[in-house]
């Protein structure tokens, strides 16, 4: 890995430059999970024509870019992240012509399209892999094959102790060729061998195919996993009771990653396209900056996972870890400051297709406070520096699936794989099994994948027939139609958030970030500052009333500034230096400053 020296300027520095405006920095991106967005033909599966039918909805919301999850030809073992043909469309979603119509419809409305580029692995049904199973094929080393090893009893074993991200071994045995192939995810998702230059060339050709059709960029799936440590050594033992060990230290952020990223960027720059990389286990600031700093010419930004990983326990996603508001403040302050000072860029998100619903996960609330909690989260994430990503249904305050649903209603391969492992591990232990299921109800990917709730009709207006996945029981009350004309609804609030980002781009996109009152256990307050103006964002992260002793300088700013957004009808004012905040109350105040970050 190349090393990068980080810059850390003092907190009271004068704003150093007039920012160069770039379209993808100022964009608001809306992620669509096609199977669950809108079904146009009544087969119970969302499709591309259904997306086209909602483009005016997205335009009215204030969206600039649509990120479309995979719609390529796929056996759908992992909902399209197992691709069998990168240049063909999964028939239930539509046709290549439908994608071209989608691109045209977006461009006509002044919006852009970003597609998912999933090139760490393919489907085992891809022709490349089918050929690769022949040990004499020229495509054998397009994937990562290894001979088995044998234990003292002569039992066949995988080549190393790496654990799959979906549970079990990261290796699958192929009877036809008598060897194992690496598959960090499902056994149907073999990893490509990026050390083979023919693989790299094919990926470049795939990118050009879509860019030539008018696609404006890519979200690059687990892109930091494409370079593995040479020799594929055993992972260190960090979970003593398990045979297979977490191995991200061996396969994430490998030695050729930056070389590969620069090759992808060269193509993107030819089209003025952009790329956001998904980079799990990218925790170190220098590692991230080395991939996104503008002078590196690699990625424009990455998804890093500190916020959505902060409640993951030592045994993985479905184990428990407590977190505090201080934890969240530290994460936000770290990345907001680091990116600004090192000429990088943040991708802002709380939800996506791999995470549960933020209003259920991060703001445990009374039913009467759901609206306030969802709006507060919009305020919290929407006014940080970076490109903002909104996941379908987030703008409606969609929540996790009901706790009463049985495990059979959870469709995701990750959930079901870990459930089977838990049955084996916790056999007869009802307490441990109950704790596992609590984490499933909190963090399973299924929560994000229930159909979008468009109206109060049967199936939430998503389809005219039974959907592929059950619609959340609350669709009659929580849906787009009921919120469309409601000025107090979550949908209207999100419109205002996106509108303010556009109106005050100098502050909310490019302004310096400063955390205020770092030590308060329940209130998050931060400022955005330019040479001539500032904004203050205040958020109560609890379901209780809070009395906040406002720092003196901020009391003046709040008293003299203009409130431009509030999730309560009449936000409070400080009295004798104390501000009363109701459950999940949040607001944004614009003011004038001298350009000094306080």
Interval 306-320 mean pLDDT: 94
pLDDT digits (tens, 9 = 90+) for 230-245: 999 999 999 998 999 9
Question: How many angstroms separate the CA atoms of 157 and 148, rounded?
Answer: 6
Residues marked as catalytic: 221, 278
Return the structure tokens found at 394. 């987030």
Give start and end residues of each alpha helix (H) in 444-594: 446-449, 480-484, 490-503, 505-508, 552-560
Is the separation of the CB atoms in 451 and 461 below 8 Å?
A: no
pLDDT digits (tens, 9 = 90+) for 3-34: 444 454 434 444 445 678 999 999 999 999 99
Is the separation of the CB atoms in 253 and 287 below 8 Å?
A: yes
Question: How many angstroms separate the CA atoms of 385 and 347, rounded?
Answer: 9
pLDDT digits (tens, 9 = 90+) for 483-518: 998 999 999 999 999 999 999 999 999 999 999 999
Q: Mind giving me the DSSP string for 234-247?
A: PPP--STT-SSB--
- The angle at the Cα of 236, spanning 233 to 242, to the nearest 5 degrees, equals 110
Supply the angle between the helices 257-270 and 197-212 in degrees, to the nearest 10: 30
- Class of the CATH domain delimited by 23-122+197-370+386-403+448-494: alpha beta
Give the domain ranges of the chain. Answer: 23-122+197-370+386-403+448-494, 127-182, 404-447, 498-592
Distances 433 to 163, 259, 421, 427, 438 between C-alpha atoms, Å: 21, 44, 11, 8, 9
| pLDDT on residue 593 | 52
| pLDDT on residue 14 | 45
pLDDT digits (tens, 9 = 90+) for 154-168: 999 999 999 999 999
Return the structure tokens found at 509. 């996109």
Share of residues in the chain with pLDDT > 70 (%): 96
| pLDDT on residue 10 | 36
Question: How many angstroms separate the CA atoms of 455 and 425, rounded?
Answer: 42
CA-CA-CA-CA torsion sign (44, 47, 51, 53): negative
Distances 154 to 148, 151, 157, 177 between C-alpha atoms, Å: 11, 5, 9, 19
CATH fold match for the domains 23-122+197-370+386-403+448-494 and 127-182: no
- 461 CB-near residues (< 8 Å, 6+ apart): 453, 454, 455, 479, 480, 481
Strand blocks (E) in 121-239? 145-146, 149-150, 156-157, 171-174, 179-182, 217-220
Question: How many angstroms separate the CA atoms of 307 and 293, rounded?
Answer: 21
Yes or no: domain 498-592 corresponds to CATH 3.40.50.300: no
Question: How many angstroms separate the CA atoms of 341 and 6, rounded?
Answer: 8
Lowest mean pLDDT among 282-291, 376-385, 416-425: 282-291
- Homologous superfamily assigned to 127-182: Oligo-1,6-glucosidase; Domain 2 (3.90.400.10)
Question: How many angstroms separate the CA atoms of 185 and 189, rounded?
Answer: 6
Return the structure tokens found at 158. 């995988």
| pLDDT on residue 20 | 82
Return the structure tokens found at 574. 């400080």
| pLDDT on residue 372 | 98
Region of 46 on the Ramachandran plot (φ > 0 left; ψ -120 to 50 alpha; else beta) = beta
């Amino acid at each position: 890995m190349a090393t990068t020296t980080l810059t850390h300027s003092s907190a009271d520095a004068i704003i150093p430059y007039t920012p160069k405006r770039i379209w993808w920095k100022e964009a608001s991106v809306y992620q669509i999970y096609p199977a669950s967005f809108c079904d146009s033909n009544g087969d119970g599966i969302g499709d591309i024509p259904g997306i086209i039918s909602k483009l005016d909805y997205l335009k009215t919301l204030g969206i600039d870019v649509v990120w479309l999850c995979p719609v390529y030809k796929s056996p759908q073992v992992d909902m399209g992240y197992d691709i069998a043909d990168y240049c063909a469309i999964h028939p239930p979603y539509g046709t290549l012509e439908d994608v071209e119509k989608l691109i045209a419809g977006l461009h006509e409305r002044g919006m852009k399209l970003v597609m998912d580029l999933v090139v760490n692995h393919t489907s085992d049904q891809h022709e490349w892999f089918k050929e690769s199973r022949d040990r004499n094929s020229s495509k054998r080393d397009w994937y990562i094959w290894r001979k088995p090893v044998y234990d003292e009893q002569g039992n066949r074993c995988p080549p190393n102790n790496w654990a799959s991200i979906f549970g079990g071994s990261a290796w699958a045995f192929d009877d036809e060729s008598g060897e194992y192939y690496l598959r960090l995810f499902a056994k149907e998702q073999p990893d490509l061998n990026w050390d083979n230059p023919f693989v790299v060339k094919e990926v470049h050709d795939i990118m050009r195919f879509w860019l030539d059709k008018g696609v404006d960029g890519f979200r690059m799936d687990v892109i930091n996993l494409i370079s593995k440590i040479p020799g594929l050594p055993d992972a260190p033992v960090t979970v003593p009771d398990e045979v297979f060990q977490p191995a991200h230290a061996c396969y994430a952020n490998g030695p050729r990653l930056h070389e590969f990223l620069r090759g992808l960027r060269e193509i993107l720059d030819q089209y003025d396209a952009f790329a956001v990389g998904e980079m799990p286990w990218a925790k170190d600031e220098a590692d991230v900056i080395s991939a996104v700093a503008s002078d590196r010419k690699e990625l424009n930004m990455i998804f890093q996972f500190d916020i959505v990983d902060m409640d993951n326990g030592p045994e993985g996603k479905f184990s428990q870890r407590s977190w505090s508001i201080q934890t969240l403040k530290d994460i936000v302050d770290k990345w907001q400051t680091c990116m600004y000072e090192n000429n990088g860029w943040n991708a802002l998100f709380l939800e996506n297709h791999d995470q549960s619903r933020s209003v259920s996960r991060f703001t445990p609330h009374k039913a009467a406070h759901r609206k306030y909690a969802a709006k507060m989260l919009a305020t919290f994430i929407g006014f940080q520096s970076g490109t903002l990503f909104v996941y379908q249904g987030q703008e409606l305050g969609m929540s996790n699936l009901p706790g009463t649903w049985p495990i059979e209603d959870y469709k995701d391969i990750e959930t079901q794989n870990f459930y089977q492992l838990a049955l084996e591990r916790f056999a007869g232990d009802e307490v441990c099994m109950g704790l596992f299921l609590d984490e499933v109800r909190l963090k399973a990917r299924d929560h994000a994948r229930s159909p979008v709730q468009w109206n109060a009709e049967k199936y939430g207006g998503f389809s005219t027939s039974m959907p592929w996945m059950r619609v959340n029981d609350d669709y009659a009350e929580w849906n787009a139609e009921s919120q469309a004309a409601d000025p107090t609804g979550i949908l209207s609030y999100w419109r205002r958030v996106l509108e303010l980002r556009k109106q005050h781009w100098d502050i909310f996109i490019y302004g310096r970030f400063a955390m205020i009152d770092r030590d308060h256990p329940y209130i998050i307050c931060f400022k955005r500052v330019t040479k001539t103006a500032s904004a203050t964002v205040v958020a109560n992260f609890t379901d209780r009333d809070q009395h906040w002793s406002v720092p003196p300088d901020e009391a003046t700013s709040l008293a003299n500034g203009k409130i431009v957004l509030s999730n309560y009808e009449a936000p409070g004012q400080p009295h004798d230096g104390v501000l009363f905040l109701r459950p999940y109350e949040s607001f944004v105040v614009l003011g004038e400053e001298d350009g000094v970050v306080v």
